[in-house]
Amino acid sequence: MSFVRNITDIDEKIIKRAAENGESIQSLAKQFIAAMHGEYDLLNILRPTHEPRTTEHIAGVVAMT
């Protein structure tokens, strides 16, 4: 069995906050993802088998829309 959870690692809020912080979008997204993983680990929630990120599938998202 597989558990797949999408990670939206780019959106308007992330772009805005990264600009406000003077950091890259990727750096901020990594921080959010690490925090999420840490919280899930504290709750003993198993991690997904796959975690595709939006930025890895932009061409498919554009084609679909």
Whether 6 maps to a domain, the answer reads: no
Whether 7 maps to a domain, the answer reads: no
Distance between CA 37 and CA 54 in Å, rounded? 17
Do 28 and 17 touch, CB atoms closer than 8 A?
yes
- Count of domains forming the chain: 1
Whether 32 maps to a domain, the answer reads: yes
The pTM of the full predicted model, rounded to 2 decimals, is: 0.81
Percentage of residues in the chain having pLDDT higher than 90: 95
Within its chain, how far is the Cα of 38 from the centroid?
14
Write out pLDDT tens, residues 11-40: 999 999 999 999 999 999 999 999 999 999
Whether 57 maps to a domain, the answer reads: yes
Whether 5 maps to a domain, the answer reads: no
Whether 3 maps to a domain, the answer reads: no
End-to-end Cα, the chain, rounded Å: 29
C-alpha distances (whole Å) from 47 to each of 21, 34, 37 are 29, 12, 8
pLDDT, the chain, mean: 94
Whether 4 maps to a domain, the answer reads: no
Domain encompassing residue 40? 12-64
